[in-house]
C-alpha cells in the first residue's frame, strides 16, 4: 500500500499546491491581468509570435520542459534510495521549480517575449545579458547532446518505439495545415492522431520493429545524426507547421500513457504486487564505486523533476510568444511543472516498486521475457532491484540505456497489472520516453537558434544572425558533443559522463534565472523571499557539484593536470578537456554575473528599469484570423 499512498498523496499535494501557493503567486505577487496586452498580439508574425489557446500551449509547454530529465534523473538518483529522491521531487517542484517557471514566464510576458537573458541586460546591466547568453549557449549545447543521445539509445535498444515516434511528424504537419490554414477544429483530428499513434505502437511491438542493419555501423550514432537533421528542419519552420501541432497531439499520447501508468500503480498497489518498501532501500547503505556523493549531487542529478534552468528558456523563449492571455500563465507554467513533478514521482515508483515486480532481460528476438534463475522462479522484490542497481559493478558500468531501461521495464510491469501485455507495455513506455525527449530536443534547437542569433548580433558576427546558419551551428556543436565517447568505448557512449555536467549547468541556469526574477520584483518593491531562498540554493548546490567534478580525481573528467600526473595524459587531454573547459567556463561566468548583481543591488530597490522602446508599427502577419483551440 505504500506505493499507492505515495502516488495518490503526491498528486493530491500537487493539486493543493496549485490552488493555494500557485494562486497566491498569481494574485498577490505577479498580479496577473487578463486585460494586459501580451507579446503574441503585440508582435504577432505567425512564425514565432502566435496567439494560442491555453490548452494547446499547455501541451507544447509541458512536453517541451518534461523531456527525459524527470525520467533519467530519478532513474539514476534512486541509487541513493527512493526517499531522498521523492522528497526533493515533491518539495522542489512546488517551492522551487514551479516558482522558477512561473516567474520566468511572467517576466518575459511583460517584456515583449524577450528571453530572461535579454531581460537581464535591462534589469541588471548590459554585461549581464552577454554573460547570460553565454551560459545559455553552453547549457543548450549540452541539452542537444544529451537528449539526442537518449532518444537514439531508446531507438537502438527498443526498436518497437521507432515507428510511432517518427509517424508523429507527418501527422503533425497535416493537423497544423488543417487547423491554421483551413480553420478546422482540433478535437476530431486529435482523436484520430492518438489512434494512429497507438496503432503504430502496436504495429511496432508485434510486427514492425525498426532496427538499423549492423553493416551501417553504430545505431546510436546514426539515429543521433538523423534526429539532429530533423531538429534543424523543425527549428526553422514556423511553429504552427510542426512544433505546435506535434507537441499538442503528443501531449495527448503522453497524458494517456501517464494515465495508464497511474492506473497500473493503483492496481499494483491495491493488489500488493508492487511493494516499494520491500523492493528498494528508502536510503541506500552505499553508492556504487566511483559515484559522486549524494550531497550535493542529488540536487543536480534530479533536475527537471524538481527544478530546471532549461524551463526558463521554454517559458521565455517560446511560450511567452504564444500565450494569448496573461492570466493563463499560472495554468501553463506552474501547472506544467507540477505535472512534471508527478511524472518524476511515477518514475521513482517504477524504478523501485515496478522493477521489484519482476526482472526482465532482452533476448535476441527483441522480445522481453521474465528472466528465471535456476530454480525456475522470476526474480522479484529486493533481489530484482539489486540485480538492476548492482552497486558492486561501479558507476561506470551503467550507461543511459540501463537507467532509462529501469523505468521502461518497471513501467511495463505496472501496465501489465491492468492487463496490458508486457511486449505492448514496453512499447508504450519506450515511446513515452522517446516522445518526451523529442519534443524537448526540437524546442531546444529553436531556443539555441535564438541564443546564437542574439550572440551573433551582440558580438557583431553577422553570419550567426542568419537563422539557417545559427541553427546549423547549434546542431553541429550538439552533435559533436553527443559523439563524445565514454572511457575505452566508442562514439556516442558518453551519456552518463555528460549527465552530471547537464545537471550542474542546468541548475546554475535556474539560479541565474531566479536572480532575474528577484531583480524584477526588487525594482517594483515586491516581496522576494520566496524567490531569493531558491536562488541561493540553486547557485550554491550546482557550483559545489561542478567544483567536485572539476577537481576530484574520482569524477571521471577531473582537472586534466591531475590525470597527467598519474601518467594518463592521453585520456586527460583527448577525452576530458572539453568537459573541463565548459565546467570551468560556466563557473567563471556565473561568478562574474553574481558580482555584477551584487554591485548594482543596493541602488535599484524601487527603481524601475529603462522601458522598452515604443513599437513604431505592428509587425506584418501572415494571417489575422484567431488561432482555434
pLDDT computed for residue 488 by the predictor: 62
Residue 554: its pLDDT value, please? Answer: 62
The DSSP letter of residue 30 is: S
- DSSP designation for 185: -
In a domain, 428, yes or no: yes
Q: How far apart are CA 48 and CA 54, in angstroms?
A: 16
CB burial of residue 366 (10 Å; 0-12, 13-18, 19+): middle
With 60 as the cut, is the pLDDT of residue 571 above it?
Answer: no
Cβ-Cβ contacts under 8 Å for 153 (sequence gap 6 or more) = 220, 399, 400, 401, 404, 495
For residues 135 and 589, the answer to whether their CB atoms sit within 8 Å is yes
Whether residue 569 is contained in a domain is answered as: yes
Is residue 617 included in any domain, yes or no?
Answer: no
Please tell me the distance from the alpha carbon of residue 247 to that of residue 232, in angstroms, as a whole number: 17
Confirm if 190 and 253 have CB atoms less than 8 A apart.
Answer: no
Helix (H, G, I), strand (E, B) or coil at 166: helix
Instruction: Answer whether residue 623 is part of any domain.
Output: no
Per-residue pLDDT of 47-58, as tens digits, reads: 788 898 888 899
CA distance 251 to 245: 10
Instruction: Cell numbers for 236, please give them.
Output: 526553422
Per-residue pLDDT band for 497 (boundaries 50, 70, 90) equals: low
Residue in 403, 294, 424, 421 with CA at minimum distance from that of residue 351: 403
Tell me what pLDDT residue 397 has: 58
Question: HEC profile for 129-157?
Answer: HHHHHHHHHHHHHHHHHHHHHHHHHHHHH
Q: How many residues does the chain have?
A: 629
**218 found inside a domain:** yes
Cβ atoms 410, 380 nearer than 8 A:
no
In the beta sheet, which residues pair with residue 361? 369
Q: Are 46 and 309 in contact (CB under 8 A)?
A: no
> Are the C-beta atoms of 146 and 591 separated by less than 8 Å?
no
Residues 6+ away with beta carbon under 8 Å from 442: 230, 231, 234, 235, 242, 243, 246
Q: What is the DSSP string of 233-250?
A: HHHHS-TTTTHHHHHHHH
Domain that residue 448 falls in: 2-288+295-603
The partner residues of 458 in beta bridges, in order of sequence, read: none
Top mean-pLDDT range of 198-207, 247-256, 354-363, 558-567: 198-207
Task: Please name which of 253, 68, 77, 254 lies closest in space to residue 153, comparing C-alpha atoms.
Answer: 68
**Mind listing the pLDDT tens digit for each residue in 141-166?**
888 888 888 888 889 888 989 999 89
Least confident piece of the model among 76-90, 369-383, 440-454: 369-383
Element (H, E) at 95: none
Please report, in angstroms and rounded to a whole number, the separation of the first and last CA atoms in the chain: 40
Mean local confidence (pLDDT), 392-420:
80
Contact (Cβ atoms closer than 8 angstroms) between residue 545 and residue 296: yes
Using only C-alpha atoms, the chain has a radius of gyration, in whole angstroms, of 23
The three grid cell numbers given for residue 450, joined into one nine-digit string: 535564438
Q: How many domains does the chain have?
A: 1
293-297 long-range contacts (CB < 8 A, ≥24 apart) are: 293/548, 294/80, 294/84, 296/540, 296/541, 296/542, 296/544, 296/545, 296/548, 297/500, 297/503, 297/545, 297/548
Place 370 in a pLDDT band, splitting at 50, 70 and 90. very low
Whether the CB-CB separation of 436 and 60 falls below 8 Å is answered with no
Query: How many angstroms separate the CA atoms of 373 and 40, rounded?
Result: 60
Compute the average pLDDT of residues 207-228.
89
The pLDDT of residue 362 is: 42
What is the C-alpha separation between 586 and 485, in angstroms, rounded?
Answer: 22
Is 163 in a helix, a strand, or coil? helix
pLDDT tens column, 59-75: 878 888 887 778 888 99
**116 and 104 Cβ atoms separated by less than 8 Å:** yes
Q: Is residue 149 part of a domain?
A: yes
How many CA atoms lie within 13 Å of 98's alpha carbon, on the beta-carbon side?
A: 32
pLDDT at 245: 83
Q: Residue 525: exposed, middle, or buried by beta-carbon count in 10 A (0-12, 13-18, 19+)?
A: exposed
- Residue 620 forms part of a structural domain: no
Consecutive H or E run containing 437: helix 422-458
Most confident of 132-136, 371-375, 606-610: 606-610
> Are the C-beta atoms of residues 3 and 349 closer than 8 Å to each other?
yes
Distance CA 529, CA 541 (A): 18
Residue 234 resides in a domain: yes
Q: What percent of the chain has pLDDT over 70?
A: 86
pLDDT at 575 > cutoff 70: no
Q: Residue 94: what pLDDT?
A: 97
Cell of 437: 525527449
Closest to 514 measured CA to CA, from 154, 135, 99: 99
What is the rounded CA–CA span in Å between residue 135 and residue 451?
Answer: 10
243 phi and psi angles, rounded to 5 deg:
-60, -55
pLDDT at 365: 34
Angle at 145 between CA 172 and CA 405, to 5 degrees: 80
Amino acid at each position: 500500500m505504500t506505493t499507492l499512498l505515495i502516488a495518490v498523496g503526491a498528486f493530491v499535494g500537487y493539486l493543493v499546491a496549485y490552488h493555494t501557493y500557485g494562486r497566491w503567486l498569481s494574485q498577490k505577487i505577479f498580479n496577473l491581468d487578463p486585460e494586459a496586452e501580451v507579446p503574441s498580439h503585440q508582435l504577432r508574425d505567425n512564425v514565432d509570435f502566435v496567439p494560442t489557446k491555453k490548452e494547446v500551449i499547455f501541451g507544447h509547454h509541458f512536453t517541451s520542459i518534461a523531456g527525459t530529465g524527470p525520467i533519467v534523473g530519478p532513474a539514476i538518483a534512486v541509487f541513493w534510495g527512493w526517499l531522498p529522491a521523492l522528497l526533493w521531487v515533491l518539495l522542489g517542484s512546488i517551492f522551487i521549480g514551479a516558482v522558477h517557471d512561473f516567474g520566468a514566464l511572467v517576466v518575459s510576458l511583460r517584456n515583449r517575449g524577450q528571453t530572461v537573458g535579454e531581460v537581464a541586460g535591462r534589469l541588471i546591466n548590459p554585461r549581464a545579458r552577454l554573460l547570460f547568453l553565454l551560459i545559455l549557449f553552453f547549457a543548450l549545447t549540452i541539452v542537444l547532446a544529451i537528449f539526442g543521445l537518449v532518444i537514439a539509445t531508446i531507438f537502438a535498444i527498443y526498436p518497437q518505439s521507432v515507428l510511432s515516434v517518427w509517424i508523429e511528424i507527418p501527422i503533425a504537419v497535416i493537423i497544423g495545415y488543417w487547423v491554421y490554414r483551413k480553420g478546422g477544429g482540433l478535437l476530431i483530428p486529435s482523436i484520430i492522431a492518438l489512434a494512429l499513434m497507438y496503432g503504430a505502437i502496436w504495429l511496432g511491438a508485434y510486427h514492425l520493429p525498426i532496427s538499423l542493419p549492423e553493416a551501417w555501423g553504430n545505431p546510436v550514432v546514426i539515429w543521433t545524426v538523423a534526429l539532429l537533421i530533423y531538429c534543424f528542419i523543425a527549428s526553422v519552420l514556423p511553429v504552427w507547421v510542426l512544433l505546435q501541432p506535434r507537441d499538442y497531439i503528443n501531449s495527448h499520447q503522453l497524458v494517456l500513457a501517464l494515465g495508464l501508468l497511474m492506473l497500473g500503480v493503483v492496481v499494483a498497489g491495491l493488489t500488493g504486487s508492487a511493494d516499494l518498501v520491500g523492493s528498494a532501500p528508502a536510503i541506500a547503505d552505499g553508492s556504487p564505486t566511483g559515484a559522486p556523493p549524494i550531497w550535493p549531487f542529488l540536487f543536480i542529478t534530479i533536475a527537471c523533476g524538481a527544478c530546471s534552468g532549461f524551463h526558463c528558456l521554454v517559458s521565455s523563449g517560446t511560450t511567452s510568444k504564444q500565450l494569448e492571455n496573461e492570466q493563463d500563465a499560472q495554468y501553463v507554467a506552474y501547472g506544467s511543472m507540477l505535472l512534471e513533478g508527478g511524472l518524476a514521482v511515477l518514475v521513482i515508483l517504477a524504478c523501485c516498486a515496478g522493477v521489484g515486480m519482476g526482472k526482465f532481460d532482452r533476448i535476441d528476438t527483441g522480445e522481453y521475457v521474465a528472466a528465471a534463475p535456476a530454480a525456475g522462479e522470476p526474480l522479484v522484490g529486493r533481489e530484482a532491484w539489486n540485480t538492476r542497481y548492482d552497486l558492486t559493478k561501479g558507476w561506470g558500468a551503467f550507461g543511459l540505456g540501463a537507467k532509462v531501461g529501469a523505468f521502461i521495464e518497471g513501467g511495463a510491469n505496472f501496465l501489465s497489472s491492468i492487463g496490458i501485455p508486457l511486449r505492448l507495455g514496453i512499447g508504450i513506455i519506450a515511446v513515452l520516453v522517446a516522445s518526451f525527449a523529442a519534443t524537448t530536443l526540437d524546442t531546444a534547437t529553436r531556443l539555441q537558434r535564438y541564443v546564437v542569433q542574439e550572440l551573433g548580433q551582440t558580438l557583431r558576427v553577422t553570419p550567426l544572425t542568419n537563422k539557417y546558419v545559427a541553427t546549423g551551428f547549434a546542431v553541429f556543436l550538439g552533435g559533436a558533443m553527443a559523439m563524445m565517447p565514454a572511457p575505452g568505448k566508442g562514439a556516442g557512449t558518453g551519456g552518463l559522463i555528460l549527465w552530471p555536467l547537464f545537471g550542474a549547468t542546468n541548475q546554475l541556469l535556474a539560479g541565474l534565472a531566479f536572480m532575474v526574477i528577484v531583480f524584477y520584483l526588487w525594482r517594483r518593491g515586491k516581496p522576494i523571499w520566496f524567490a531569493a531562498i531558491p536562488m541561493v540554493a540553486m547557485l550554491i548546490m550546482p557550483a559545489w557539484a561542478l567544483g567536485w567534478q572539476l577537481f576530484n580525481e574520482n569524477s571521471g573528467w577531473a582537472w586534466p593536470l591531475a590525470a597527467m600526473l598519474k601518467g594518463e595524459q592521453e585520456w586527460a587531454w583527448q577525452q576530458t578537456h572539453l568537459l573541463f573547459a565548459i565546467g570551468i567556463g560556466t563557473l567563471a561566468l556565473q561568478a562574474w554575473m553574481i558580482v555584477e548583481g551584487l554591485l548594482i543591488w543596493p541602488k535599484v530597490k524601487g527603481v524601475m528599469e529603462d522601458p522598452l522602446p515604443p513599437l513604431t508599427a505592428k509587425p506584418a502577419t501572415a494571417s489575422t484570423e484567431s488561432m482555434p483551440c
